[in-house]
Amino acid sequence: MDLGVPKPHGPFRSAWHARGHGVPAQRRPFTANATPAWRRAFGATNPNAAMTFAGSASYIIQGLPIARNALVIDTGWDFHIAKSAALSLSYNGQIACHAVDSQVRGGFIWRFKHGLDTEV
């Protein structure tokens, strides 16, 4: 298992990232990965903006408020059904005190052999 800190992206940093390694993909029935993170919002959490067009009255644009603290989880599994094919299932979520945002995705991965691709 490889534990490392990925490059920061967006408004948060990942605490750690785990991905199964060690056994060649041909003999692995599945590959799993997980990235938990903590997101902390600084400053205003209610995104409001006063806008105006030239020669008209001003108006207010309101966005959805974001949580000050949230746990961010990204995890997934690839089930290898053939040498170049896999079924994938993943979960992405943000869990905060008064809000939960969840996403579950499934898919089919078909890898084509490419001249520059060395991974099998």
- pLDDT lower than 50: segments of the chain: 1-17
pLDDT recorded at residue 8:
44
Residues 6+ apart with CB under 8 A from 106: 87, 88, 89, 90
Q: What is the pTM of this model?
A: 0.59
pLDDT recorded at residue 59:
92
pLDDT recorded at residue 3:
41
Distance CA 105, CA 76 (A): 9
Sign of the Cα torsion 19, 24, 25, 27 reads negative
pLDDT recorded at residue 20:
54
